[in-house]
Amino acid sequence: QQRMTPAQTTCSSCSRLKTEFRIRMLWPTVLPGDLSWVHQFGDSAWMWPRLVFVLWKFFLAATMMVGFGLNIADDVVADVAAWYPIYLTNWALFFENLYLNLSFTIALWIYRISPDSTSNQPAVTKLAWVLRSIGQPGALVVTVAFWALVYSGRLTLTTFWIHGVNSIVVWLDILTSCYEVRLLHYAYVLAFGTCFVVWSVIHYHANIQDGRTPSHRFIYSTLDWSPGGQGKAAIVSVVVLVVLTPICV
């Protein structure tokens, strides 16, 4: 068998990279040459029996539902549940839980009915693909940003669960699944992150506060949109969206 020259290898790599940036790669659709949607959503990368994979998906979903419950309970006890939706952590946790639960449901459905791998891709799998493209990198960004920019030295079980276990679950799902990952799907989590930045500006100027410290108009001190802090907030936003987020996709 003839080996490829370095120049041929480079051309082949460039060709594959160009393919990644074609507009069709933006959509959450299985393309010719990809694994079938049945294999992507119903089978493990480790060739486990499908029932074992279903149970594994349930375990991952249940693990993050525990974190969701702990988080809600803490806010209710602290009487700040009304401010639950303002935080990026909770946005990302919501999307991660949506993906994990839908992923488990699809895996269970595939196990129960064993659909033909050549059948049309169901819309629900496309939704799961979009949710995964937001929830997984979103969770990784939240973990890195929290420990680097927000953590103040007080660690609780809930804090560790939603800023540490969340990313462990992401990696466990990545390492045991065989779904396609596309560079252009960065657009989904970029839109998600941009929406949060816009929300943080609205939150500041509407003086919604956080229910804990009346003097805090910002959600996070790194996103302080006051005249004296908006420069730093803008830099942090750009770095997280343009540098950190693509790394986590």
> Chain-centre distance of CA 117, in angstroms?
27
Residues shown for the chain: 249
Radius of gyration over alpha carbons of the chain, in Å?
21
pLDDT of residue 8: 45
Residue 146, number of CB atoms within 10 A of its CB? 18
Q: Which of 94, 97, 62 is nearest to 192 (CA)?
A: 94
Angle at which helix 186-205 crosses helix 123-145, to 10 degrees, equals: 60
Q: Which of 141, 100, 151 is nearest to 239 (CA)?
A: 141
SS (H, E, C) 172-237: HHHHHECCCCCHHHHHHHHHHHHHHHHHHHHHHHCCCCCCCCCCCCCCCHHHCCCCCCHHHHHHHH
Continuous segment of H or E residues that includes residue 18: helix 6-20
Tens digit of each residue's pLDDT (9 = 90 or more) over 37-85: 999 999 999 999 999 999 999 999 999 999 999 999 999 999 999 999 9
pLDDT of residue 202: 98
pLDDT of residue 17: 73
Continuous segment of H or E residues that includes residue 69: helix 50-77
pLDDT of residue 5: 58
pLDDT of residue 23: 87
Q: Which residues of the chain have pLDDT under 70?
A: 1-16
Amino acid at 91: W
Contact between 200 and 85 under an 8 Å Cβ cutoff? The reply is no
Contact between 178 and 45 under an 8 Å Cβ cutoff? The reply is yes
CA–CA dist 28, 47 (Å, integer): 24
CA–CA dist 25, 119 (Å, integer): 20
CA–CA dist 126, 191 (Å, integer): 17
